[in-house]
Structure 1
Amino acid sequence: MPVLVEVGWGGLVQYPWSITWTDITSRVDMVQGVTISRGASDELSETQPGSCSMVLDNEDGALTPGNPDSPYFPFVRRNAPIRVSQAVMPVRTGAAPYSVSMLGDDFDGIVDTARWPNRYGGAGLVDGRLRIPLLPGGSAGFQSAREWRLPGSSVCARLSTAPTANGSSAAMAQFVLDSVTNGTRIGFQLNALTGILRCASFVGFVDAGSVDIPYSPIDHLWLRIREMSGLVIWETSGDGWDWTVRRTLATPAWVSSETLVVSLTTSRTGGTGDYAEWDLLGAQVRPRFWGMVNEFPVQWEGLLSSVSITATDLFKRLNRMPALRSMLAEEILSSDTLTGLFSFLSAYYPLGEPPSSQSAGSIAGSGVGSLTPVQVSTGGTLEFGTEGPPETGETCPTFTPASASAGLYLAADLGDQVQADDAFYLIHIEAFFRTSTAGRVICGLYEPGFEHQLTLLLNGSGILTIEHTETGSPVATVTTGTGNLADGNWHHVVYDGSTKRVYVDGSPVGSTLSVTSMSGLRTLHVGGYRGARLWNGQIAHLAIHHATGPAGPVYTTHYEAGMTGFAGEAADWRMERLARYAGLESVTIFGTTHDLVATQGPAGTGVVARMREIEATESGRLYAERDYYGLAYQSRDVRYNPDPTSEVFVIDYADLDTLGVQLADDDQKLCNQVEAARPGGATQRVNAPSSVFAFGVYEQQLNILKSSDNSVLDAAYWLVSRYANPQPELREVPIEAATMPEFLDILDADISSYFTVYNLPAQAASSEMRVTVEGYTETIKEQSHEIQFRTSASSTDSVWVLEDPVYGVLDVTTRLAY
């Protein structure tokens, strides 16, 4: 059961798919072991950032930061990605022929000659791996005894080192299962010359229907062949845990009937020799940690050098992110990822500068110029810091001209890059505005020679109008069907330069407009255009996007962001939205009960704080995944009424093989009175009179982001019904897992999993107790894997089911779900 520790030297955690992992397991001090902690202390506490610690051998100085002689230089540095897995090796039982799922070898030690009787060409074990040479003009191999069956089973291996062409005209590495007939085999073949990984079923050395894929040392690090229900399945994986199907084939008759040989072979025609290396054949991988190394502190004992590292999971990066802007600003900054096109934000002026400001900057990160005031004639004012769109908590400028041709507007040079992009991509413009004065310009753009111009304005009737030209003066005018927008209310406009359509307040207006395609636009005017039709009112959150197609419909959601802050959307949608703000591709959602939540529109809090607000509001669970760079969120119904058939495992008390099991019965979780409130809603109180009479008042304040007072009341009742009189529970369950037949099942236990401990000592209140996992601390050593589960009573989350023999007992299990 080897541990597998890998570091992604030079990789970035925000781009996990591009990380090349380096196995450093041989450096781990397994006497001290690897210690990992994740989850929460109990169900009422927040999950904490997961951590991992270990001591690494640094005798060669390879892990010394800044050492130019390190093979990992210059990437031995803070925040290096790291992942830890447990590779559980199968055990062969019974008599031959064996299921190939029982074939396992970590190639650490000496060759099992009974298992691998046929070895040739110099194939052997080197530094804990199987090394098979690719010698010019020769072949090499490592072959098992003929004692394996594939039906209903699988076999995998890790291709730790792939061969290269090295000037040869042919170079191959194979991982196959051989028939009794020469040239009939099934498995994988890597062509080092072409870089093609072939998923093949050979008959007479030929497979006309093979599936060939470009080999990737990242995505195809692990290879697996399995048979299930009459199908042979070829799969690849980057970590040995998350598999991708590459080919399926109806199981050939010979596969079903024959006893097979597992072969790892190589061949080369010429060039320079190298080798293929394989590891962890047959291993069943269970990810334990995925995160970032905090530092590489080098220490010495005499001349012996080691590095004691600690690593933290995804929450480290999330917790150090700056406070979020308003939901509107975050939507504009992140929504280009949703278009399904190649689209990007060229300029974004929130216009939220403080009152003393003399200019306004772009936060798109594209290096465009700032907007600066331009005075036309005399008089008028331009005041920053006035009230912006309703649910942003941000300000904007107010333009107050003396007349349509006397006052101030803003102008910016967008620069060479935007001008160049405008020749290849389609421009999209959006802005918020408010005015009671018709006949004024929102914004306009032109290229230096004025051949191309594009202006968005309200005409004399307050109707959105577009002026454009690609031939200089005169400009053409297109009037949309918006109705009067000079009504003193906030509005949002999107112009889609691909479909030539406009969207106002989240909805399309009319159909395609007769607007020419613009090119080379560089100068931006806001609140007026070329010294005329000066805006009287507010303009905010002006953004310019470029895209390869119609991206406008995506930007229409920004109206809701600015006006309501997405108040009333479901909690799972909010979690996914916040994950996007954090730069995550997604958050994995578990469960189906998701209430509607209030706005989190204004700026000023971090992304984790906002996620925690949703977690607390929904009595959910938020944590970092242990197998990849991602977050998971569980709704409260994940824990409703545990089904005994879905338990991760059951364990006899005597098999825990550890000390420290404790039955707790205290007032740590007792809560019999809740005062609950929501933003803009009523403050309500719920209590449990019998509990108050028995124990006194144990009150808790609940401030949550529910969208209705009834939802707040439901949440308060839920809390009181669970904790008015908590029952005795096991809060710590330590297990020496490595000795258990259910080792894999125990490793599968994660946050909100549940298991049962039975045959408890006679002094216990009952002979068995079912517990829910809240978190755990594990220490992995040589031939030892101790896991200290932090648990709560599963019955706490049971809910009433009408006429159910377990969950429908009057006055016992009649807690209503919410």
Structure 2
Amino acid sequence: MVFPQTPLDVRTELQIGGVWTDITTDVYSRVPIGIECGRSEESVRTNPSKAALQLNNRLGKYSPRNPMSPYFGLIGRNTPVRIAVHGGNSYLNVTGQNNSGASTPDVAALDITGDTDIRLDATLDRWVTPAGAQHTDLAGKYSTAGNQRSWMLQERRGRIYLEWSANGTAILSATSTVAPAVPPSRRMAWRVTLDVDNGAGGWTVTFYTAETIAGPWTQLGAPVTGTGTTSVFASTTVLKVGDATNLSYSKPAGQIHAFELRNGIGGTPVANPDFTAQTPGAPSITDATGKVWTMATNGSIRNRHVLFHGDISSWPTRWDLSGNDVYVTAEAAGTLRRLGQGRKSLDSTLRRRLPSHAPLAYWPCEDSAGATQAYSPLAGVTPLIVTGFDFAKDDTLGGSGALPTVAPGGTMRGRIPAPPAPSTVWAVCMPYRIDGTPPVAEQEMLSWTTTGTARRWRVVQSATATHLQCYDAAGALLFESGGIITPDVYGRWVRLEIKATQSGPNISFTLRWTQVGGGSYPVSDAFAGTLGNLSQIDTSFGPGLPGIRVGHITAWSADVITSAYESADHGFTGETATDRLARLATEEARTVALSVYTDPSIPTTRLGSQRPADLLTLLQDSADADGGILYESKTDASLAYRDMNSLYNQTPRLVLSYTADGEIGPPLEPTDDDQKTRNDITVSRASGSSARAVLESGPLSVQAPPDGVGVYDDAITLNLATDDQPEPIASWRLHLGTWDEARYPTVRLMLHAAPHLIPAVLQLTIGDRIQITNLPPWLPPGPLDLLVQGISHAPDQYTWDVELTCTPAGPWRVGVYDSADLGKADTSGAQLTSGITSGATSFSVTTTAGLPWTTAPGEFPARIVIGGEEMTLTGVTSSTSPQTFTVVRSANGIVKPHSAGAPVALARPVVYAL
């Protein structure tokens, strides 16, 4: 990628009346645009991104309340703005709309009927279609019109999907056995091969991923096979990328960089458009095979690279004394700012979930202290009239706000509307909890009325048994169940569930106790009668039930209790951090979009119950518990999350040389201070136990100087699922807080002086690893490994400065089983038996603690360090201390003599990931 150095094509657009409008000519260059995103070096949470720019307002265009402005009524608070640079690599822009992509006409070369190899390279806004939406088209030669199905490539539930037809009508398909891990850069290449005859009487589809279409390719999951050989129909339909079929599937949004279709697995390309080297705006292009690709109505070749996407919340107009210089100093902010302004708590998980399943009646009972009745959020359902209810007393049900306790003899009565359509089933559910001594005599637990033969239904329960009693219209006992042995339902939250069904002349029922987060215990029976409809909850709690707590009482005309309550009743306790973030984003799709970057095969931290809180707090609490980074997308108004696992053992996204002209701008200054030092850490689980980790010895320990640095303590409460989680998290945070390395808070790049860096810088994402080589002699030997925590841009006509806010990447280098570099455990203590010269290649080492060093040949070579000099250890002799080490000196460019007693250690001892 080469950008013209003078001038830089920086463009600013406002979304005016729903249309992106270029306002670049009104943006003053006298004050360079400033863009900041990510988090500051000392912050543990991401700050809202922001952009500052100055607009020419002499004509009053950017005064929202000026009726003479052409934008009157179209701009105002939170008007979307984006800032981009134009130049360098192009791409096929796809918008998520129909007719978005490119196509080439059918020719004989595209009519592959045998083995097929399909490859796609893209940077998409969403690699995983949101829940409830259709699967996403990516490429295909596929049309249902006239049965012209050949094949199509799609994303389905995050996995790669291939569908093909042997005759244009009947279809076969294969889905990758695992989902690919979407990288934070959002760029990924997918490859699918179809072996139509695998030699075993069947077909095989194999899936691969890579960083780009250039490879190398890594197989994704296991191959998928089917019985019987197959073929691919030679349809006459066009070949498309983007909007690839005539079906109503979702369409991709983002950038498509390249596509390949090969005849045979690894065979000759028959179509291979490379969109990266095309002229922006070109209506058509020709690929290397001679195929002409035409852009669709909503597809185009572009070279716009977005640096910032946010909202302008205010338009302050200023002017000089002459009144000739009138301008708006606008500051835009990202999505986090907007989310941080609203502090309304989301309802409890039960309150959010249950209405979506269409109950006939629902009373959450989450009313405030002092309430005299229980509100219903359902239209047409009157409040639950109660006596003896003391609201907002118990908050131990994970999926609920605080619920009432009920005094002995308390009552509740509420009308249940008739079902909208005739039904042969109804159900009632009441979560409850009884602590203390179970009642000896039977007590009424729940009672309701119906319009059927059994007008009144009662559940009465004692410490050992339960009866279901049904009475007719005259009040006579119509049916009583035998004594049902009550399961362990005391001292915990339980759902009491009753389902009844009309089964011919009989009413069949199931009485069920479901422990919240535990087992379920059903009992079924039947008696003669007509079911009728539910009409009223009418319960007088037995006087032997002191302090029973109840809430989220529902009535239904369908058997949906399990699906309605399951997991929501305990607030999704045990849900992983990434699953919770994705679920919240789906539930709150009108408020925020969020992409999760994780390896689906590696589970993230399990969380405790989701309590009522505002959306941003819930999102950030999930990120805090997992230890990953929640940040804003720079390309659209969405959030992104990269889990902690994605920070381990990264390949550098950007490699810089200190000595290369223009790659590193001044100053590159190490900071050796105590800003990040934490050597005494306590981690507590919300509503649970805690654990403490302390570094007792070493240069950053709690010992007083010079043996340590003194106590730097910290304490944090996290929303974790179980009490065994705080201990490893405390140890990991201690590892991060006692990493003994200088900080390089800022790395400055001057892209106008080193334009070859621009492609990699544009791909940088918060949390990426960078590396600086060829460090000057006054700094410790490199390379210098850093994690990017924040990115600031200052693009101007003739300069483009970028500042990267960084922290050390070293603590995120963790152990890998059987790795020669990352899989070796250090000894507990070793030192030189006697001093050595700068030329010594063999010397004696004494073990001072723990076991001696291994002598197994397979463990070498290994990297050791003595006094800052790294050496390559090629062998150890003697199985007891002292031992003889054979080395190659100066592995890191340093060589010097060392004194007797100098510590000997592995240069990269294994670090156990959380």
Distance 2:656 2:823 in 1: 21
Contact 1:428 / 1:496 at 8 angstroms: preserved in 2?
Answer: yes
TM-superposed CA distance for 1:753, in Å, is 0.5
Query: What is the SS of the residue equivalent to 1:671?
Result: coil
- CA spacing shift, 1:387–1:642, aligned 2, 3 Å: closer
Aligned to 2:413: 411
Distance 2:749 2:538 in 1: 67
Contact 1:673 / 1:686 at 8 angstroms: preserved in 2?
Answer: yes
Query: What is the SS of the residue equivalent to 1:332?
Result: helix
TM-superposed CA distance for 1:774, in Å, is 0.8
Contact 2:37 / 2:49 at 8 angstroms: preserved in 1?
Answer: yes
Q: 1:814 aligned to 2:909?
A: yes
Aligned to 2:333: 312
Aligned to 1:525: 537
Q: 1:444 aligned to 2:455?
A: no
Q: 1:670 aligned to 2:671?
A: no
Query: What is the SS of the residue equivalent to 2:661?
Result: helix
The one-letter amino acid paired with 1:282 is: I
Alignment of 1:114-263 (within 5 A): 156=92, 233-236=240-243, 241=254, 259=290
TM-superposed CA distance for 1:687, in Å, is 1.5
The structure 2 residue matched to 1:350, chosen from 351, 364, 378, is: 364
Contact 2:392 / 2:404 at 8 angstroms: preserved in 1?
Answer: yes
Contact 1:388 / 1:540 at 8 angstroms: preserved in 2?
Answer: no
Aligned to 1:732: 746
Query: What is the SS of the residue equivalent to 2:551?
Result: strand
Distance 1:472 1:72 in 2: 73
Deviations 1:181-227 (A, max 9, x none): 9xx9xxxxxxxxxxxx999989xxx9966999xxxxxxxxxxxxx99
Q: 1:775 aligned to 2:790?
A: yes
Distance 2:406 2:326 in 1: 64
TM-superposed CA distance for 1:373, in Å, is 3.5
Query: What is the SS of the residue equivalent to 2:337?
Result: helix
Distance 2:389 2:581 in 1: 39
Aligned to 2:312: 293
- CA spacing shift, 1:487–1:769, aligned 2, 3 Å: closer
The one-letter amino acid paired with 2:661 is: A
Contact 1:3 / 1:84 at 8 angstroms: preserved in 2?
Answer: no
Unpaired stretches in structure 2, ≥5 consecutive residues: 4-8, 112-136, 153-188, 195-238, 244-249, 264-268, 273-285, 502-507, 825-862, 864-904
Query: What is the SS of the residue equivalent to 2:646?
Result: helix
TM-superposed CA distance for 1:796, in Å, is 2.7
TM-superposed CA distance for 1:733, in Å, is 1.0
Contact 1:297 / 1:309 at 8 angstroms: preserved in 2?
Answer: yes
- CA spacing shift, 1:497–1:227, aligned 2, 3 Å: same
Query: What is the SS of the residue equivalent to 2:698?
Result: helix
Distance 2:28 2:106 in 1: 40
- CA spacing shift, 1:458–1:422, aligned 2, 3 Å: farther
Aligned to 2:757: 742
TM-superposed CA distance for 1:297, in Å, is 3.9
Contact 1:648 / 1:748 at 8 angstroms: preserved in 2?
Answer: no
TM-superposed CA distance for 1:559, in Å, is 4.3
Aligned to 1:504: 514
Deviations 1:448-494 (A, max 9, x none): x889979573478853749699x999998696997437965442134
TM-superposed CA distance for 1:640, in Å, is 2.4
- CA spacing shift, 1:41–1:760, aligned 2, 3 Å: same
Q: 1:369 aligned to 2:374?
A: no
The structure 2 residue matched to 1:788, chosen from 800, 803, 812, is: 803
Distance 2:336 2:56 in 1: 27
Query: What is the SS of the residue equivalent to 1:689?
Result: coil
Query: What is the SS of the residue equivalent to 1:744?
Result: helix
Alignment of 1:689-728 (within 5 A): 689-691=697-699, 692=703, 693-694=705-706, 695-705=708-718, 711-724=725-738, 726-728=740-742
Contact 1:33 / 1:781 at 8 angstroms: preserved in 2?
Answer: yes
Deviations 1:591-627 (A, max 9, x none): 5766765745665x54544554454444332323334
Aligned to 1:41: 40
The structure 1 residue matched to 2:820, chosen from 793, 804, 808, is: 804
Query: What is the SS of the residue equivalent to 1:690?
Result: coil
Distance 1:173 1:800 in 2: 45
Distance 1:665 1:386 in 2: 51
Query: What is the SS of the residue equivalent to 2:645?
Result: helix
The one-letter amino acid paired with 1:315 is: L
Deviations 1:107-155 (A, max 9, x none): xxxxxxxxxxxxxxxxxxxxxxxxxxxxxxxxxxxxxxxxxxxxxxxx6
Query: What is the SS of the residue equivalent to 2:36?
Result: strand
TM-superposed CA distance for 1:792, in Å, is 1.4
Query: What is the SS of the residue equivalent to 1:38?
Result: strand
The one-letter amino acid paired with 1:76 is: I
TM-superposed CA distance for 1:798, in Å, is 1.9
Unpaired stretches in structure 1, ≥5 consecutive residues: 11-19, 92-103, 105-154, 163-171, 185-196, 213-225, 266-275, 375-380, 402-407
Contact 1:334 / 1:581 at 8 angstroms: preserved in 2?
Answer: no
Distance 1:246 1:528 in 2: 70
Aligned to 1:130: none
Distance 2:698 2:255 in 1: 51
- CA spacing shift, 1:345–1:331, aligned 2, 3 Å: farther
TM-superposed CA distance for 1:665, in Å, is 2.0
Distance 1:655 1:702 in 2: 43
Distance 1:556 1:790 in 2: 44
Distance 2:455 2:797 in 1: 72
TM-superposed CA distance for 1:79, in Å, is 3.6
TM-superposed CA distance for 1:445, in Å, is 6.3
Distance 2:429 2:801 in 1: 57
Distance 2:788 2:553 in 1: 47
Deviations 1:259-296 (A, max 9, x none): 4667679xxxxxxxxxx8x89x5324544444443234
Query: What is the SS of the residue equivalent to 1:715?
Result: helix
Contact 1:704 / 1:712 at 8 angstroms: preserved in 2?
Answer: no
Distance 1:551 1:541 in 2: 15
Larger deviation: 739-748 or 794-803?
A: 794-803
Query: What is the SS of the residue equivalent to 2:741?
Result: coil
Q: 1:54 aligned to 2:53?
A: yes
CA RMSD of aligned residues (A): 5.5
TM-score, length of structure 1 as denominator length: 0.64
Distance 1:517 1:299 in 2: 78
Contact 2:138 / 2:252 at 8 angstroms: preserved in 1?
Answer: no
Distance 2:747 2:445 in 1: 69
Query: What is the SS of the residue equivalent to 1:334?
Result: helix
Contact 1:440 / 1:458 at 8 angstroms: preserved in 2?
Answer: yes
Contact 2:339 / 2:616 at 8 angstroms: preserved in 1?
Answer: yes
Distance 2:469 2:257 in 1: 50
Q: 1:282 aligned to 2:290?
A: no
TM-score, length of structure 2 as denominator length: 0.58
Deviations 1:534-562 (A, max 9, x none): 9876352224477988463341324434x
Query: What is the SS of the residue equivalent to 2:747?
Result: strand
Query: What is the SS of the residue equivalent to 2:552?
Result: strand
The structure 2 residue matched to 1:553, chosen from 555, 563, 570, is: 563
Contact 2:13 / 2:24 at 8 angstroms: preserved in 1?
Answer: no
Distance 1:636 1:261 in 2: 44
Aligned to 2:20: 22
TM-superposed CA distance for 1:334, in Å, is 3.0
- CA spacing shift, 1:747–1:365, aligned 2, 3 Å: farther
Aligned to 2:82: 84
Aligned to 2:767: 752
The one-letter amino acid paired with 1:729 is: R
Distance 1:173 1:806 in 2: 46
Distance 1:546 1:69 in 2: 58
Distance 1:779 1:747 in 2: 13
Alignment of 1:551-590 (within 5 A): 552-561=562-571, 566=573, 570-573=576-579, 575-576=581-582, 588-590=596-598
The one-letter amino acid paired with 1:624 is: E
Alignment of 1:445-484 (within 5 A): 457-458=459-460, 463=466, 465=468, 483-484=485-486
